[in-house]
Structure 1
Amino acid sequence: MGVSALAEGGSGTSYPSHREPDGSIGIKLLEASSNRKNDPRAYLYIVDHINPGTRVSRRFEIRNTSSSSQRIKLYPGAAEIRHNTFVPAADRHANELGSWISIDRPELIAPPNSRIQLNAKISIPKSASEGERYGAIWAEVASPSVKPGSAGNIQMINRVGIRVYLDIGPGGDPPSDFRIEQLTPGRTEVGMPVVKATVNNTGERALDLGGQMWLSDGPGGLNAGPFRAQVGTTLAPGYSAPVMVMLDDRLPDGPWQVKLMLESGRVHHTVTGTLTFPEKPATWGLPALLDSFPLWALVIVGSLAAVAVAFFLVLAVRRLRRRRRVAQ
C-alpha cells in the first residue's frame, strides 16, 4: 500500500511550501530558475523551459520531523494531467524525465528532526524533441519489510514530491495565458453558496490555478470576502475546467457585485460582474452578468456582424440586378 502527496499551490500573491505534519517526511524546493525570480509558482515547483543540449540543477530540501531516523529513497518519475489534476503516472518511466533527472544522493538516512539539502541535475540531450513533460522528484519512506505469511503482512509506502513542468525547445519560453469565460452561482446539496468559474487555458504551458473572490454591494450594503478558490486544478494547454469558490452559508441570495481574481504564476486575470444565488439547494442560477465583454466574444460578434453585412450586401446587389432586368 502507498500514499503519495504532491505539493499544491495556494492563491493570493504567494505560494506556500509543502508542509509536512509532525512525525513524517517533507520536501521543499529551495530555488527557482534565474528567469523566474518573480514567479511564485517556480519556488514551489520546478517550472522551466530548457533548450536541447542544456544542463541545469535545482537545490531542494528533505525534512524528517519524526523522532526516529528514516531511510529515504529519492528518484524522479513521470506524471500526467488527468481530469484537470496533476497525478503520478502509473509507469514512472512513461516519459524521458526519469532518465534526464538525477539526484546526488538517491538514498540516505535522515536523523530525527533533521533537514538535508540535496541537488537535482537535469540534463537534456541535444536530440530531445519539443514539448512539455510532467513529472515529480519523489522522497519515499517504506515501513520495515515483513515476512510473507506473517500476520499483518502489509508494507506501507509513503512518499512526497516536487512537481516538475519541463518544456523543451529552442528559443524562449512558450506563452502562458488563460481566459475566465463564465461565472455561475449555485448552491450545494446542503445549501452552501458556491460560484463556478469556467476557465480555458489559451496558452502553450500547463497552468495551476488559484485565486480569490470578493462580494460587495449586497442586500443592505453587505460586503464579504475574500474567499479562496479551491486549489488543485491543473489545466493542460487547450483545455477548460471549472474552478470552484465556496462561500459562507450565511450569505443572502443577492444580487451581489462580484470580483474574481485568478492566477497561475505570473499570469493574472480579474473579472467583475453581478450575480444572484438561487434559493434552492443543489441548483445553479443564471450566469453572472460580467462587466467587461471578453475580447474573444468581441471577435466572434464582430465576425458574425461582418458575415451578416456581407450577406445583406449580396442580397441587395441581386435585388438591384433583378429590378434592372425587369425595367429593360
Structure 2
Amino acid sequence: MPARPSRTNAALSALTVLLGTVAAGVPASADGSGDTGGGRPPRSTDGSIGIQLLEATAGRADDPRAHVYVIDHLNPGARMTRRFAVTNTSRSPQQIALSVGPAEIRGNEFVPAADPDANELPEWVTVNRASVLVPPQSSIELRAAVAIPPRASRGERYGAIWAAVASRHKGEPAGTVEKIHRVGIRLYLDIGPGGDPPSDFEISQLVPGRTEEGDPVVRATVRNTGERALDMGGKLWLSDGPGGLSAGPFPVQVGTTVAIGGTADVRVPLDRQLPNGPWQARVRLESGRIHREVTGTLTFPEARGTWGPPALLDGRTRWVLIAGGVALLVVAVLLVVLARRSRTHDRRPPRRQREPVHR
C-alpha cells in the first residue's frame, strides 16, 4: 500500500504559479518551459494554481524526494498508479489542463526536454482527466497510471506531469497569443529487471569564495557515483572562527540535479558580515535518503568575484594518512621477508660437484 506523505512533506511538494496579469517571475511560459520544483515563485493577490503528489511507494516512505516527485523502479510489464491533486487559490474558477511530457538533465538542472519525443514517458504515463475546472479556493484529486511495456529497455527516464492554465492580459482582443503557465511533478522512472539500482555520491572538494557583490559563498563539488539521478540539498555549519565564532546552519541553493556519472557544484550562500576566517566548516549534503558529510578548514578570500584555495578535508586527510601507513607497513614487511630469504640463501653450504666416474 502506498504511504501518505506527512504534512511537512505535503507543504514542500505544493508547487505554485502566478495567475492574473502579473507574469514577472513565473518560471513557465508558452515556449514549453515550466517549474518542476526548482524554485518558489512570488505570491500574488490574484491567487495561484498548484500541483501536489499525494502518495509515495511504500518502500520509499523514508525518502523525502519520493513524497514530492514520482521516483520508482519498475520491471518491464509492471503497472502502478499515483494520486495527486491540483489546487486553485484564485478568486475565480480555473480550467486546468493536464498532460505528461519528457524531461532531461541539462546543465545540472531538471528541465523539460526540447524534443517532445525524447523518451517514452508520454506513452507510458496517463492522467485520468485531460482537463478539469477547479472552483475558487479548491482542489481536485486526480490519478496518474503508469504502464511499462513488457519489452521496455533498461534505463532511467525523466518527465513531468503538467498542470497548465492559459491567460492573456486584460483588454487584449481574442486571438492574441496566450501565455501558458504550468507547474509539474517530476518523474524519475528507472526501468529494468531486478531491484532498484543503488544511489550514491561523494563530496570531492570545498572551495570558499566571494560573489561579484562581495557575499561569501562555499562551493561543494559533488560526483554522482550511483545509478540514479540526484537532487541535492543540505546545510553548512561554521565553527572555531575568529574569536571562537560559530555560524549556521546555512541551507544550500536548491535546484541542482546531478545526472548519472555526472559532477556538479552545489553552492551555499552565506552572510556578508562573516569574517574571512579561518573557519572549521562542516557540510552535510543529501539526496533523498542518501547523506554524505565532510569537514575541513577554509578561509574566504578578500576580493569580490574570486575563489580561495580548496579546504583541506579532514576525513580525506585521515584516510590519506591511514592509506600511507598501510602502504609503508606493506613495504616494511616485504623488505623483512626479502632480507630473511637473502640470509637463508647465504647460510646454505655450497653444493658439492660430483666427480666424474672413470670406467
TM-score when normalising by structure 1: 0.85
Matched letter for residue 4 of structure 1: G
2:83 alignment partner in structure 1: 59
TM superposition shift of 1:191? 1.4
1:96 alignment partner in structure 2: 120
1:79 aligns with 2:109: no
Question: 1:78 touches 1:89 (CA, 8 Å); kept in 2?
Answer: yes
Question: 2:237 touches 2:250 (CA, 8 Å); kept in 1?
Answer: yes
Q: How far apart in 2 are the matches of 1:177 and 1:19?
A: 34
2:35 alignment partner in structure 1: 5
Q: How far apart in 2 are the matches of 1:82 and 1:41?
A: 20
Matched letter for residue 239 of structure 1: G
- Counterpart of 1:242 (choices 265, 269, 280) is 265
Question: 1:18 touches 1:26 (CA, 8 Å); kept in 2?
Answer: no
Question: 2:168 touches 2:177 (CA, 8 Å); kept in 1?
Answer: no
- The 1:18–1:176 alpha-carbon spacing in structure 2 relative to 1, beyond 3 Å, is farther
1:156 aligns with 2:179: yes
Q: How far apart in 2 are the matches of 1:231 and 1:138?
A: 21
1:292 alignment partner in structure 2: 315
Matched letter for residue 194 of structure 1: V
SS where residue 283 of structure 1 aligns? coil
1:258 alignment partner in structure 2: 281
Moved over 3 A (4+): 17-22, 149-152, 294-303
TM superposition shift of 1:301? 7.2
1:202 aligns with 2:225: yes
Question: 1:100 touches 1:123 (CA, 8 Å); kept in 2?
Answer: yes
Q: How far apart in 1 are the matches of 2:137 and 2:206?
A: 46
SS where residue 132 of structure 1 aligns? strand
TM superposition shift of 1:172? 0.8
Alignment length, in residue pairs? 304
- The 1:45–1:297 alpha-carbon spacing in structure 2 relative to 1, beyond 3 Å, is farther
- Counterpart of 2:238 (choices 190, 193, 215) is 215
TM-score when normalising by structure 2: 0.78
SS where residue 5 of structure 1 aligns? coil
Structure 2: any 5+ residue segments left out of the alignment? 1-28, 343-359
- The 1:119–1:243 alpha-carbon spacing in structure 2 relative to 1, beyond 3 Å, is same
TM superposition shift of 1:8? 3.5
Q: How far apart in 2 are the matches of 1:302 and 1:42?
A: 43
2:162 alignment partner in structure 1: 138
Question: CA offsets, 1:80-100, max 9 Å, x none?
Answer: 000100000123332100000
Comparing 286-295 with 114-123, which one deviates more in the overlay?
286-295
Question: 2:104 touches 2:112 (CA, 8 Å); kept in 1?
Answer: yes
Question: CA offsets, 1:9-44, max 9 Å, x none?
Answer: 8xxxxxxx9997551211000010111011011000
2:353 alignment partner in structure 1: none
Q: How far apart in 2 are the matches of 1:110 and 1:151?
A: 23
Question: CA offsets, 1:205-228, max 9 Å, x none?
Answer: 000001000000100110000101
SS where residue 232 of structure 2 aligns? strand
Question: 1:8 touches 1:18 (CA, 8 Å); kept in 2?
Answer: no
Question: 1:26 touches 1:64 (CA, 8 Å); kept in 2?
Answer: yes
1:192 alignment partner in structure 2: 215
- The 1:278–1:69 alpha-carbon spacing in structure 2 relative to 1, beyond 3 Å, is same
Question: 2:53 touches 2:69 (CA, 8 Å); kept in 1?
Answer: yes
Q: How far apart in 1 are the matches of 2:104 and 2:256?
A: 13
Q: How far apart in 2 are the matches of 1:134 and 1:242?
A: 21
1:34 aligns with 2:64: no
1:267 aligns with 2:297: no
Matched letter for residue 289 of structure 1: L
SS where residue 79 of structure 1 aligns? strand
SS where residue 153 of structure 1 aligns? coil
Q: Which has the higher contact order (CA 8 A, sep 6+)?
A: 1
TM superposition shift of 1:281? 1.3
Question: 1:18 touches 1:28 (CA, 8 Å); kept in 2?
Answer: no
- The 1:281–1:105 alpha-carbon spacing in structure 2 relative to 1, beyond 3 Å, is same
TM superposition shift of 1:7? 1.5
- The 1:254–1:99 alpha-carbon spacing in structure 2 relative to 1, beyond 3 Å, is same
TM superposition shift of 1:295? 9.7
1:281 alignment partner in structure 2: 304
1:124 alignment partner in structure 2: 148
Report % sequence identity: 60
1:326 alignment partner in structure 2: none
Structure 1: any 5+ residue segments left out of the alignment? 10-16, 321-328
- The 1:276–1:145 alpha-carbon spacing in structure 2 relative to 1, beyond 3 Å, is closer
